[in-house]
Each structure stands twice: as C-alpha cells, then as structure tokens.
Amino acid sequence: MRPISTRARALTAAAAVSVVAGAGAVAVTTDASAAAGCRVDYSVNQWSTGFTGNVTVTNLGDAITGGWNLTWTFAGNQTVTQAWSATVTQSGQNVTATNPSWASSLGTNGTANFGFNANYSGTNATPATFKLNNVACTGSVPTSPSTSPSTSTSPSTSPSTSPSTSPSSSPSTSPSTSTSPGVKVDNPYSGAKGYINPEWKAKADAETGGSRVSNNPTAVWLDRIAAIAGTTDSSSNGAMGVRAHLDAALAQGAGYIQFVIYNLPGRDCAALASNGELGPNDLPRYKAEYIDPIAAIQADAKYKSLRIINIVEIDSLPNLVTNTSGQAGGTAMCDTMKANGGYVQGIGYALNKLGALSNTYNYVDAAHHGWIGWDSNFGPTADIMLQAAQASGSVNNVTGFITNTANYSALQEPWVQPTTTVGGTSVRQSKWVDWNQYTDELTFAQAFRTKLVSIGFNSNIGMLIDTSRNGWGGSARPTKASTSTVVDTYVNESRIDRRIHAGNWCNQSGAGLGERPKAAPAAGIDAYVWVKPPGESDGSSSLIPNDEGKGFDRMCDPTYTGNARNGNSLSGALPNAPISGAWFSAQFQQLMANAYPAL
C-alpha cells in the first residue's frame, strides 16, 4: 500500500527469547501394552517479570481417545496466571494441562497446542521433563513398551516448525462441507460462505449498479479502539462493533468473517493518510485497550462455529525494512518503531492472543511485489515476519500471509514477466519494472510463500491476495503484447497495471474491481479476497480535519509530482477524495466500470 524503496538494507532486530524443550515418550493409558512415544516443544516469550509459554505436544504412538493431560514441574517460582486451549492448574511448582472438552483425542502423529501466561522472578528455566498421561516424553517410540518414566531430559536446540499433522505444500482444492467447532481447518475459506458486511452492502446498493457486487464478502476494518464497541460517525466502521458483526454473521449463516487488525502504535510510519490514534510508545495501550478486548469477544463460545479470520496490521513490518534511515524516503517515525520494537512486539502479542482461539486464523500483511520484490527487500522482509511470529511464542499462530492489501498491483501480467526480453533487452531494465524480480502479485505471492516456509514457517501456510481493486479492465486494458522493440515502450503498452508508477497507492485513477472472492484459486493461495472494501477511500485529496488521527498525505493529491519513492512521478490519485475509510462514490463507480472480469 505504501511507496517503495528498491535498495533497502537488511534489517536486524532483537528476537524474542525462545527456549525449546525436547521431550518424548507418551504412554497411551487406554492400552497398557501399546507402544507409545511423544515430543513436546516448549517455547517462551519473556520479559522482566513474566512470560508467555507456548506448548505443542505430538503423539508419536497409538491414538489417545480417552483424554490426555501433560504435566511438568517448574524449577523456580513461575506462576501460571492465564491459559488457553487447555485447562491449566498448578500446585506449588507442579503444573497439569488437561485437554479442552472439544479436543479430548490425540491421534497418532497428532498434535495439541496450548499456551499460558505466567509470572516469575529470578531465572526462568525450561522444565526438565514433561509427562503425557503420566509417562515421560523422550521424543521417540521405545522399542518395547514401558510404563516407567524415561530419564532423558535433554532439550532440543530448535523448535519444531511442522506441528501440523498433515502439512501440504498447497491449500486443499476440495472444499469441506462443514465446520467442526474447535478443529482448525487447513484453509478457512474452503467450503465456507463469507460474511457480507451489511454496512458496506448498504452503501454499495445505494450506488447505481452497486447491487451487482454488493453480495461479495469484504473485511471489517478495526482501525481504532472505538471500532471495537462500534461508532456512530460517518467512517467506514459505521455503528457496528465487533460483536455486532459476529452476531450478524451468525444470522447470515456465514462460515467465515474477516477482520482487519489495524491500530499499532506509531501506525503507518511512512505515510500520513492512515496514521492512527496511538503514539509510538503506546504499546501497553495497544495490548490492553485494543487487542485484549477483541480477543475476549472473539473467544465467546457463541461464535465457535464461525471461522474468524484476522488480517494483521497492514503495511507495518515491511516499513521497517524499506523506509528507515539511509533509504530513499526513510522517515524518523519508522526509525523509532524499528528501534523500540513496537511493531514486532505488538504484532507478536496480537498473534499470540488471537491465534490461541480454536476457530481463529491469522494472516499477516506482507506488502506486495512492487514494494518488496527486489532481492534487497525480499529476504529481510521474510526474516522480520519470522521475528514477529517468534515474538508470539510460536509460528503456529500464523495461518498465512496476505499481499496487495488495499493496493492495485495486477494479479497477472501475461506479457511482462521478468524473463521477457525485447530486442535482446530484459524488461527488468525498463523504467516500470526497475530491476524487480516480480511483475505481478500471483507469482510474487507464491514465491514469497516458498521463502517463508524455507526460513521456518509451517509448510501448510497459505497466501491471500487482495483483488478488490487490481482488475484494470475497461478500454485501457491491453489485449495483446506490444510490437515495439523499445523496452520501455513495450512494457508500457503491454502491462495490465496502468498506474503511472508502481509505487503509487492512493485512490488510483483508472483502477477496476479484480477477481471476485474465491477459495483456493491457485497453488499455495488460500483465497482471493476483498479486504479493502471497494468504494472506501485510501486518503483525502486535501487536508480534512478529523478526530480519527488520519492525516493528509500528498500522495493522495492528484497535483502532487511525487518523491524519490515513486520516481518523482505524478501521484495518479483521483480528486475530491474523503479521508481514508470514508465512502468515495466516484471511485466506486470507476471500479465497477473498469472491473475485470467485467460485471
């Protein structure tokens, strides 16, 4: 969504404290003669007086069907204060975690994951031994049955990165027909009806021709604390809060609902149009006043049948890679947020709290190809994504990633690919491509997914692509490749994306609706989604005072001649736009007129 730096330097940030305890053998108490084994992965994200623990137990033996419990003994004064996805009790230093009612079975090679918060002082050593159903874990299956605890307590040196029972390299293309409460699915979009936001639908229906698209699911943006309970102003949040939307989703018989979690301290450090209400040092408020209330509502058992999809913090982590000091257009605010860890720790906290629920799915924003498609940005951005996941306690808290959120990058460029040459010259040398390794979102999203898996994310993560405004249809859409032998002319006449510059992001003139929301459309892609509701402004064309903390960014001014991050090009923005999130009728009409596929 934000401008680009093509020559960003690698980012090194402080990683969360992580300790992993290997543990092993599990006895199946329902069959004393059955061979058994298990592994426990234990990691913590700690601070001076407390920590969050994340535990994954893998059953390596016969299936457990009568319930399970995991026990361990703390070596110090650790005291558990809160737990999720298991019932955790403590007596002195001894802790017992018992399966939740909805997950009493643990199949062969099956995993159970739960977490807890705890206080401590002094040292916070990893427990020496874990026991599943009263048999010590060793990480292997004994050659002969044994009911006596193993003496092996050696910790492993790295956490398991594949806790899923049946990881796959791409999302399922066979939609399920039902949702089992408490059991997470590989792709939450498959086989499920999406929630239609009635507030957005009413605005779309009020437009001439709007009923043609108003039945598509869109995301609900929670861009300030007030949005949780609901507001009464004219912003995109309307009057409905989180609980009201969840209730409406139940009434619709929806299978999934999408929320955008978007209120980090020092939000959107490289732009002004979507600055937020929290200052750079407001991480405690972000946790206590924003994330905690959202998690509490989503945890209500009333909503267990819904797949709740959280799109986590648009634009934040990539800004720490491309828009800090020493890079074109770097800002002091991005320097501050990189130095104080507010983005990494804030997202880590959000992933931990929201990922702990049995029916929630977290997708972290991963920018777009025109932002991080260069080698200098690609790897470092993946690395900082991993740091944020580790800050949450486990990569298991991440279902996947989303690209092109609220942006305009074309889904596919049939005639302009990095391998295309014109008169012996690579299109990568053109002014438009500017040496980028990618020219469209689908290719980029699939490649970035591969990179993320290679550095430690689970192999079954899926990608989302926001296609709400990247169709680029209408009369300006090329229908064939250019015949020019001049590389810049060829690219400009052949490319689907009609922006003046790929770094332009605000209310782009000529854009159109893209692919309609669709589950599992391509390998590695969980869904095409409309996360940015079509018709909601990216930012105002001129300064408009407001009480939402949203500033004026010159990139939303159609007369602006640009900066270093967009090659000093015109902004390409539509005129007369309201503040970000407010309804923009002229844009909505243009998006429908230029839709591809056409309406």
| Structural domain includes residue 256 | yes
- Residue 172: its pLDDT value, please? 33
Binding residues for substrate are: 221, 223, 368, 371, 407, 505, 532, 536
- In a shared domain, residues 117 and 208: no
| Structural domain includes residue 171 | no
Number of domains in the chain: 2
1 near 16, Cβ under 8 Å?
Answer: no
| Structural domain includes residue 86 | yes
Single residue among 112, 136, 160 that ends a domain in this structure: 136
- Residue 351: its pLDDT value, please? 97
CATH number for position 588: 3.20.20.40
Binding residues are: 221, 223, 368, 371, 407, 505, 532, 536
Single residue among 101, 119, 136 that ends a domain in this structure: 136
78 near 126, Cβ under 8 Å?
Answer: no
Catalytic annotation, residues: 268, 315, 538
In sequence order, the β-bridge partners of residue 252 are none
In whole angstroms, give the CA distance from residue 224 to residue 583. Answer: 17
* Close Cβ partners of 287 (under 8 Å, ≥ 6 residues apart): 346, 349
- Residue 51: its pLDDT value, please? 87
- Residue 382: its pLDDT value, please? 96
- Residue 160: its pLDDT value, please? 33
| Structural domain includes residue 476 | yes
In whole angstroms, give the CA distance from residue 85 to residue 541. Answer: 47
| Structural domain includes residue 371 | yes
- In a shared domain, residues 376 and 460: yes
- In a shared domain, residues 306 and 394: yes
List the domain range (segments joined by +) for residue 113: 38-136
- Residue 274: its pLDDT value, please? 63
Q: Strands 79-84, 87-91: parallel, antiparallel or unpaired by DSSP? A: unpaired
Place of tokens 């913090």: 313
* Close Cβ partners of 438 (under 8 Å, ≥ 6 residues apart): 369, 373, 418, 444, 447
- In a shared domain, residues 92 and 204: no
| Structural domain includes residue 259 | yes
Contacts 24+ apart (CB under 8 A), 423-431: 423/485, 423/486, 423/487, 425/487, 426/487, 427/487, 427/490, 427/491, 429/487, 430/487, 430/488, 430/490, 430/491, 431/488, 431/491, 431/567
* Close Cβ partners of 149 (under 8 Å, ≥ 6 residues apart): 129, 131, 135, 136
Single residue among 115, 136, 157 that ends a domain in this structure: 136
- In a shared domain, residues 513 and 405: yes
Closest listed residue to residue 449, CA positions, set 413, 414, 399, 391: 399
Place of tokens 């920018």: 367
CATH number for position 92: 2.60.40.290
| Structural domain includes residue 522 | yes
- Residue 180: its pLDDT value, please? 46
Residues (pLDDT < 50) of the chain are 1-35, 144-180, 234-237
- In a shared domain, residues 215 and 106: no
In whole angstroms, give the CA distance from residue 162 to residue 264. Answer: 29
- In a shared domain, residues 503 and 578: yes
- In a shared domain, residues 130 and 237: no
| Structural domain includes residue 356 | yes
- In a shared domain, residues 312 and 425: yes
- In a shared domain, residues 130 and 210: no
